Chain A
């Protein structure tokens, strides 16, 4: 009789074997032999459904990708190394004191409905971004830097002409800054917040500073980018077709881009295999090795400006003791984590500054052996980890985070004798705990909005809202502000080296690895080069056998 139960269970096993168990994934690579001209329709896995198309309302990466196709700004990132190259502005001048930027717009710029792009489209868009009623989350990208912008945002002045924007003629825009901002051009190129907006269209649907009007709906939306919006079925696909009014339309080779929201990365990989996608956003970790072995031409692992790290709440005893923090940092075998757990060819991180970030490289590294770590623990009063209460490690639910946390837990235990308790939380609860400093150690990640070392170092300045470690260092703040006022990058980067050193000494955060971007791409897709911001302008992409 037990045979019958086994028989029933055995029904399961063939299903599992059918699924492949180690078999080469059959990939319907869309390279069809024989056709010289293939339809230039690029199907792109774009993780999540875009919230909206208004560049002053959205904040996410999927929206960023769609805006790269539909919108344009003064500058955009170079497809190969992400540095700023001219887009709607054909050139710009920076005054010697670094406080005045003059942008020269191209002639005959047009919106996708054929109407001309004017300087008002820029000025009023910038006014809108810092209008309090818009409540734009990226308003700080203007009011942190431009003269008078913060006062306008806070309602202290109401005359927009007092803010440092002006248009001396129909093709020139002048921006006046509060203090030299060396990364301003990179920021404008990398991020959409400074984009112009079709003001005439906007005003048809509401006041200038009215948030969430229907101007971005299909049929209303107008943009300046290489593509125009043609179709939008939420949670199914967003279709963009070539925009003949784009100033550089000759450079655009694709006829159509289909953005497919692929929320589940396993489903995305299956879609790619079935030939429904040309490029995915990500790839499940467990599949990386399989593709490396069987289809290396489809797997891409690009550098990415981002860091995976553990944040420490230094107000929670005994985390106030930097020896303990340093010991924990030393007790992690980063190479092993990357090789065996994360598996994406990530770069082990011994400082908080990713390599080759707009030419910047770290100025200090965490160095030391496991013995050094144990000595530090003993000095702090916990020899062999004895007496140290278990450390609470918080992470947001994800398979990757869990595995890394488990690996680190084991490393701390066997290398240092330190016990820890893992706790996973759902995303918003985790963020809430982070912002309210309701944790002891937590897993964290930080990705660059634009290419500049400032992005990773400004967080630990004591007044920065993203600090969340409750760690503050007067020296760090001082050097940081000196860097902001530096006359050129050479001086600025010197200061940043000092900041790296302070973080390495104090360890309020434990760097673990610098991200990479693993994804799958059909061999038909050309014109995509690995770059640290993972911004691949659609103007250069095309399909070819």
Chain B
């Protein structure tokens, strides 16, 4: 113990980082995610065109010319999957980040302050949750056109709601605990208590829900492209590729399996990374 105290840099963040590095599964998840993101961002430079068609060829299974096969219009599936990954990963991360920021703040405030404020805030969440989503999106498109920023906004506008509810539930549990009462007794202001003491202690479920939200967002993007919001043909995204592939899965299995596999890999990596993050950031774990 004494040796550790003499080492430099004993901040909690450093602790967390070290703990994370020791979790092999999380590290693998992180590496996998980074590899996928890297492949999707830069891979397309080296791959074939995602939009060049070969109508006479049509959909063929994986071969030397096309490692993942081709789609119905003869386009290389590997290229399309990589380009699609760009869209999906970006949408997944950005929209989830938006949802996270709004949801966590909103839920933490509602849960912590409680009383009438909580009631009003949660009723607003109820109202927004009940409004019909397709109508809402179509209206957005009518007023704001069809740019991709709108996509993030539309998705974020829906996903933050359940997040805030989960955070609120957690916060309400935490706030009666002794260390929070102690902080209050010390005279710390509510903002400081919320952001420095409450939120770090509810990170666990937040992280878990976030890692589940990102793939849900990717699939939601496929629904929005049905409404015309999102990337336009010939560009595609994993959600759309999976949806199109699922309709042809008996005839052209590769159209579903490969985008589906990448999507699943992303999902698994995120979840294991998230688990590792949660463990690493767990302030109580240092005791064990």
Contact = CB atoms under 8 A, between A and B. Distances in A.
Interface in A61-79: none
Nearest to B54: A340
Contacts of B28: 1-2, 4-5
B126 interface: no
A286 B251 contact: yes
Interface string B108-125: 000000000000000000
Contacts of B234: 406, 409-410, 422
A470 interface: no
Interface size class of A (residues with CB under 8 A): 35 or more
A19 B253 contact: yes
Contact of B232 (A20, A337, A424): A424
Nearest to B247: A266
A496 to B, nearest CB: 34
Contacts of A23: 250
Contacts of A1: 24-25, 27-28
A25 interface: yes
Contacts of A16: 249, 253, 256-257, 260
A424 to B, nearest CB: 5
B226 interface: yes
A477 B202 CA distance: 73
A22 B264 contact: no
Interface string B237-259: 00000001001111111001100
Interface stretch (B6-14, B84-92, B157-165, B265-273): B265-273
A542 B131 CA distance: 49
Interface in B203-234: 225-228, 232-234
Interface residues of B, number: 44
A19 B250 contact: yes
B232 A422 contact: yes
A19 B249 contact: yes
A426 B228 contact: yes
Interface stretch (A142-150, A251-259, A395-403): A395-403
Contact of A429 (B29, B228, B249, B253): B228
Contacts of A429: 138, 141, 228
B261 interface: yes
B48 to A, nearest CB: 14
Interface stretch (A6-14, A39-47, A377-385, A511-519): A6-14
Contact of B227 (A9, A12, A403, A426): A426
B70 to A, nearest CB: 12
Interface in A403-439: 403, 405-407, 409-410, 421-426, 429
B227 A5 contact: no
Given A4-B25, A422-B234, A341 B251 contact: no
A402 B232 CA distance: 10
Contact of A21 (B25, B226, B253, B261): B253
Contact of A403 (B72, B251, B257): B72
B128 interface: no
A266 B29 CA distance: 36
Contacts of B134: 426
Given A5-B29, A406-B234, 7 more contacts: A5-B272, A9-B268, A12-B257, A22-B253, A286-B252, A340-B56, A340-B72
8 contacts: A17-B253, A22-B251, A340-B73, A410-B53, A423-B228, A424-B225, A425-B227, A426-B134
